[in-house]
Amino acid sequence: MADLLWLVPALPLFGFLILAPLSRRIPRSVVSVIGPGVVFLSALTLTGIAASFISLPETSRSIHQTLWSWISIGAFTPSFGFHLDALSLVMCLVVTWVGFLIHLYSVAYMADDTAFARFFAYMNLFVCAMLILLLGDNLLMLFLGWEGVGLCSYLLIGFWYADPENGAAARKAFIVTRIGDTAMTIGVLYLFTHFQTLDIQQLLARAASTWTPGAFGAVFAASMLLGGALGKSAQLPLQTWLPDAMAGPTPVSALIHAATMVTAGVYLIARTHTIFELAPDVMVAVALIGLLTMLYSGFSAMVQYDIKRVLAYSTISQIGFMFLALGVGAFSAAIFHFMTHAIFKALLFLGAGAVILSLHHEQNIFRMGGLRRELPVTFWTFLIGGAALAGFPLITAGFYSKEMILTAVYGAPRAGMLLWIGALIAAFMTAMYVTRLILIVFFGTARGPHPHAPSWPIQVTLVVLAFFALTAGFFETPPLLGGVTFFSHFTSTALPAAHHPHLSHAADLLLLGAAVFAALAGIVAGYLVFGRREPVVDPKTSLPQWSGIERFFLGGWGFDTLYAATITRPYVFLADLNRRDILDMIYTILAAGVRGLHRMTSVLQTGQLRWYTAFVTMGAVVLLAWVVLP
């Protein structure tokens, strides 16, 4: 079974290869079988491999498969190989199964779209690239997948390319992440020049044996890799692309911009954790960036009126939560939160998609309202997803993963208390804006058109995801609630265990109580602040009445304006200056001189035979005079 590992990314690629060239020729019914089908087969194959993976002894729990040697230039010999360990297995399982559910959902969601096959071709290619990213055994393979998912993200954000705004959003996502990717390329090349290998396992072993903690090389490499992770995972200061990326179809937002691709940065840091652990200062930076991002997006999510943008900011904040966990060394907690987040955020996005679809592509939450009676399935599943995002105690998966992170942050060796309080505030805000969103969309009076119920694939997907949003948290529970450590035990073969300071019973109680309190207080506060106010119906006309601070948060703290003023506009200005190509002037002058000489000589070619005779005579006279005269 383990030999079939290559099939896992190959099957979605196969789907892409069928759908892309034949997109106009094959009927929709075939596309809606192939598109989700290949991802389903891939998920099944991976599940089979997972079964044989678990039966391996714990000391050697990894599967390695080298297909062929990719490039061979001197010491630079990256292979085309896959490496499966507990970390990549968990991530791949989430990607394939959540990916399959979203593909299934898309069959219904995209049913009326003219570019049905193109959509599934891109989605399959995305799944393939994401699996290559996760399974690649060397940094170059990882980078191949990394750029592949970036490309698919670009293609899918700009899927409805007829609207120039969507194209602009796609370019923005591509270019902003490219800034991070440049840093990451530098980091990868630095690691190669230093260790003469790109194989991740060898690299980490050599790094651990060469560098002492805090060594310059480790700090530099970790910072550069962090740059790549920040771009891909939309963390401060490269977060501006993600809210705009909501221009793509909603299943794309669910799969790429919530559940999987944006967590690639988390994976990168967890994968190269050895290097990060050798650079403690960078780890602190990771935690701080995570915390700041959470607070930043918490405030922004509070005032958004586009349902998808609320969820986009909540995605940024939850990835910030994962970064915080990574920064304090709680790698398995970060991956656990990745797993639960992938499930409940996919659920929320798909629920939002169901709402948007049933209201004929209305995304403004102020034109929704009162949907709880008309769309009961969507309402209940969305409520479950929202509760998981808010970290509603005891029954939701989000509670357990957040609790795990909060505990690890509390016990962090550096600035633990500060980070812990910040994280609690962020968790409180999360609960608050989720409550606001649900109140405005599903309660109150109906302010929009009459909705029609979504079709069965949409409802089935929502119910399945809602089930897991409730249950996925029971793999890992705090000591006072059973103390299950299945998940951290499972990932301990690939990731170092978090610092587990021996906490007293009282401290355990405090941690649990604080997590419960943050979630519940947030929900109550959300109800008190947003529950009574009759919402604005059209923000576009009422925007001038909004307070300055609300508009500031609505625009994402003015980051877009700042970047436009400091980077984009000076760049465009310079490009405009250089429109005449200043550096090229030398060659232009040279060419102009040659052209002038050419024109002078071609004037002499009159075509008049008698002129030629005259010139020949004159030439002969001059030559004779030169020779004869002294």
Partner 1 sequence: MASIPVHYVIGLAGLLFSIGLIGLMTRRNLLFMLICIEIMLNSAGLAFIGAGSVWNQSDGQVMFLFILAVAAAEVAVGLALLLLYFRQYRTLDIDRASQMRG
Q: Which residues are near partner 1 by CB under 8 A?
A: 601-610, 613-614, 617
Please state the closest distance from residue 24 (CB atom) to partner 1, in A. Answer: 54
Give 504 or 605: the residue with its C-beta nearer to partner 1.
Answer: 605
Please, what is the minimum distance in Å from the beta carbon of residue 626 to partner 1? 19
Q: Report the nearest approach of partner 1 to the CB of residue 607 (Å).
A: 3
* Beta carbon nearer to partner 1, 52 or 613: 613
Report the C-alpha gap between 442 and 438 in whole angstroms.
6
- If the CB atoms of residues 574 and 600 are measured against partner 1, the closer one turns out to be 600
DSSP 197: -
Q: With respect to partner 1, which residue has the nearer C-beta, 547 or 602?
A: 602
In three-state secondary structure terms, 605 is: coil
Closest separation in Å from C-beta 588 to partner 1: 24
Of 583 and 603, the one with the shorter C-beta distance to partner 1 is: 603
Q: Give me the phi and psi of 450, to 5 degrees please.
A: -70, 125
What is the smallest separation between the CB atom of 596 and partner 1, expressed in angstroms? 14
Residue 621 beta carbon to partner 1: minimum distance, rounded to whole angstroms: 10
Question: Cα–Cα distances in Å, from 225 out to 102, 183, 190?
Answer: 30, 7, 10
Distance CA 578, CA 92 (A): 47
For the bound state, the minimum distance from the C-beta of residue 560 to partner 1, rounded and expressed in Å, comes to 58
Count of H-run helices and E-run strands, the chain: 28, 2
In whole angstroms, how close is the CB of 619 to partner 1 at the nearest point?
Answer: 13
d(CA 559, CA 181): 20
**Rounded to an integer, what distance in angstroms lies between the CA atom of residue 116 and that of residue 244?**
23
DSSP letters spanning 242-284 = HHHGGGS-HHHHHIIIIISGGGHHHHHHHHTHHHHHT-HHHHH
In the complex with partner 1, the residue whose CB is nearer, 587 or 611, is 611
Cβ closest to partner 1, residue 573 vs residue 612? 612
Query: Which C-beta is closer to partner 1: that of 161 or that of 611?
Result: 611
DSSP for residue 82: E
482 or 619, CB closer to partner 1?
A: 619
The nearer residue to partner 1, 76 or 612, going by C-beta atoms, is 612
DSSP track, 65-113:
EEEEE---BTTB--EEEEEE-HHHHHHHHHHHHHHHHHHHHHHHHTTT-
DSSP letter at 361 equals S
CA distance 275 to 496: 12
Query: Shortest gap between Cβ of 564 and partner 1 (angstroms)?
Result: 54
Tell me how crowded residue 430 is: count the other CB atoms within 10 A of its CB: 29
Q: Cβ(78)–Cβ(70) under 8 Å?
A: yes
C-alpha to C-alpha distance for 66 and 75, rounded to whole angstroms: 18
How far apart CA 453 and CA 377 sit, in angstroms, is 9
Work out how close the CB of 599 gets to partner 1 at its nearest, in angstroms, rounded to a whole number: 9
Spatial CA neighbour of 234 closest among 308, 158, 312, 304:
312
Q: Which is nearer to partner 1, 361 or 610 (CB)?
A: 610
The answer to whether 371 and 355 are in contact (CB under 8 A) is yes
Give the residue with the Cβ less far from partner 1, 604 or 628: 604
Residue 69 DSSP code: E
Min separation Cβ 604 and partner 1, Å:
7
Please give the torsion angle defined by the CA atoms of residues 265, 266, 272 and 276, in that order, rounded to the nearest 10 degrees.
Answer: 100
Q: Which amino acid is at 46?
A: L
Task: Write the single-letter amino acid at 523.
Answer: I
**Strand, helix or coil for residue 329:** coil
Under 8 Å between Cβ of 526 and 518: no
